Amino acid sequence: MKNVYLLRDAIISPIGFNTRENLLSLRQGISGLKLHKEPQQTPSEYTAGIIEDKLLNENFREIGDPDSYTKLEKMMILAVAGILSEKEALDLDQTGLIISSTKGNIDLLGYESGFDKKRVLLSELGKQIKEFFGFKLEPVIVSNACISGGLALSVAKRLMNAGKFQNAVVVAGDLVSEFVLSGFNSFQALSEGACKPFSKDRNGISLGEAAAGVLLSEKAAENKANVALVAEASANDANHISGPSRTGEGLFKSIQNAFRYSGVKPGQIDYLSAHGTATPYNDEMEAVAFNRCGLEKTPVNSLKGYYGHTLGASALIESIVCKHSLLNGELYQSLNFTASGVSKPLNIIQNYRNQNLEYALKTASGFGGSNLALILKKENNG
């Protein structure tokens, strides 16, 4: 398949309302995770990365009426607005819109929100974004557990390769809702404090909410370095409704297929962006899969210590960070890492540093046995 290029992007999160602000926070080791005490939630105390409603509304007023949209819609619309440049106007009649979310507006269930009950549907979420900007083509909705954000990039690339459109806007987002909190709490999967991916003393995830958007194009931007999506592969090992394969089979197959499709070898990967949720089973599974693929010496980090697990947005946010790591030659600290708590060796990035980078591998895994691998490459066109 032909490569596609990651052009303009935007990240809306507790540590920044654009990509530049987010990258600055990553460089400085600033986390969006905070302790929250809300009696109506389950549990009553939890650590998470949550966007303040007041700040969100202040930013949204520049482009629309905050009262007309749900919190998630505002986050995702801001992400799309951040990548639509007046100087480089897109033909929205011919631009694809790919939307990723695991739960959408599920926070509207059970409450008198003032919004039509249909807004809880993922299709309605797509409709709101489409109509706000005036996209002509019907949005494609991607919802496949926690690989959704990365899978949306894969779906966009495949549709572009099939000739459906030359450009695509990919946007992803999810909230920290009572439904999500109670669900992970029922698994006893929530961390007591800020999560510690791959650490010996890790004890679960921290949740987060964020949105991100990226413009994909078949054409690279001229006279500058670009980052191309050169391969993507997914595999489902169907191990368990929530537990990953203990041998990392699905992730192993995803990575191996991405290598096979691209012709890239394990030794060429300069940076590995892991899923790294900080649950005992996920981190162990990833360590096994990475070692099976010959990636045990590759610098690796998890960004969950900054954002928490943002569900359907996580793999897209982390792919955008991968892009900028390649362009800027930066490796970000795997925040909150203490001492290794997995059975196989990994080269955890413990301090921010600069390094020449050409290839990055982004992986993601999710409930139901879903797994994904993306290979990104820096190309100089100037």
| Number of domains into which the chain is organized | 2
The Cβ of residue 115 has, within 10 Å, a number of other Cβ atoms equal to 16
Q: Which residue has the tokens 């992986």?
A: 363
Confidence of residue 245 (pLDDT cuts 50, 70, 90): confident
Q: Which of 86, 377, 352 is nearest to 225 (CA)?
A: 377
Confidence of residue 241 (pLDDT cuts 50, 70, 90): confident
- Strand, helix or coil at 26? helix
Rounded mean pLDDT, 124-142: 97
| Residue 147 and residue 122 in one domain | yes
| Residue 35 and residue 60 in one domain | yes
Rounded mean pLDDT, 186-201: 93
How many Cα atoms within 13 Å fall on the side-chain side of residue 309?
A: 30
CA 2/CA 353 separation, integer angstroms: 32
Tell me the residue ranges of DSSP E strands in the chain.
4-12, 33-37, 45-49, 95-100, 140-142, 167-174, 207-208, 210-217, 225-236, 271-273, 299-301, 330-331, 347-348, 353-354, 359-366, 370-380
The residue from 192, 217, 242 where one domain ends is 217
Position 224 in a domain: no
* pLDDT above 70: residue 5: yes
Position 357 in a domain: yes
* pLDDT above 70: residue 338: yes
Position 223 in a domain: no
Q: Enter the pTM of the model.
A: 0.97
Position 118 in a domain: yes
pLDDT at 39: 59
* pLDDT above 90: residue 380: no
| Residue 175 and residue 258 in one domain | no
Query: How far apart, in Å, are the Cα atoms of 132 and each of 81, 116, 129, 149, 288?
Result: 10, 17, 5, 21, 44
pLDDT at 87: 57
Query: How far apart, in Å, are the Cα atoms of 23 and each of 128, 318, 322, 336?
Result: 29, 11, 11, 17
pLDDT digits (tens, 9 = 90+) for 148-160: 999 999 999 999 9
Assign residue 281 the CATH number of its domain: 3.40.47.10
| Residue 164 and residue 95 in one domain | yes
- Lookup: tokens for 353: 């540093």
CA 245/CA 296 separation, integer angstroms: 19
Q: What is the largest CA-CA distance in the chain?
A: 56
Residues shown for the chain: 382
Which alpha helices (DSSP H) does the chain contain, by range?
19-28, 53-60, 71-81, 122-133, 148-161, 178-186, 249-262, 280-292, 304-307, 314-328
| Residue 292 and residue 187 in one domain | no
Query: How far apart, in Å, are the Cα atoms of 137 and each of 69, 92, 95, 140, 224?
Result: 21, 8, 7, 9, 30
pLDDT digits (tens, 9 = 90+) for 82-106: 999 755 678 999 999 999 999 999 9
| Residue 48 and residue 178 in one domain | yes
CA 361/CA 371 separation, integer angstroms: 13
Output phi, psi for 148, to 5 deg: -55, -45
pLDDT digits (tens, 9 = 90+) for 9-57: 999 999 999 999 999 999 999 999 999 987 566 667 899 999 999 999 9
| Residue 239 and residue 358 in one domain | yes
pLDDT at 42: 64
DSSP state for residue 245 in the 8-state scheme: P
Position 130 in a domain: yes
The residue from 186, 217, 248 where one domain ends is 217
| Residue 286 and residue 176 in one domain | no
| Residue 203 and residue 275 in one domain | no
| Residue 176 and residue 274 in one domain | no
The residue from 162, 187, 217 where one domain ends is 217
* pLDDT above 90: residue 69: yes
Inter-residue contact 128 to 101 (CB < 8 Å): no
Q: Is 13 left (phi over 0), alpha (psi -120 to 50) or beta?
A: beta
Rounded mean pLDDT, 171-195: 92
Q: Name the residue range of residue 65's domain.
A: 4-217
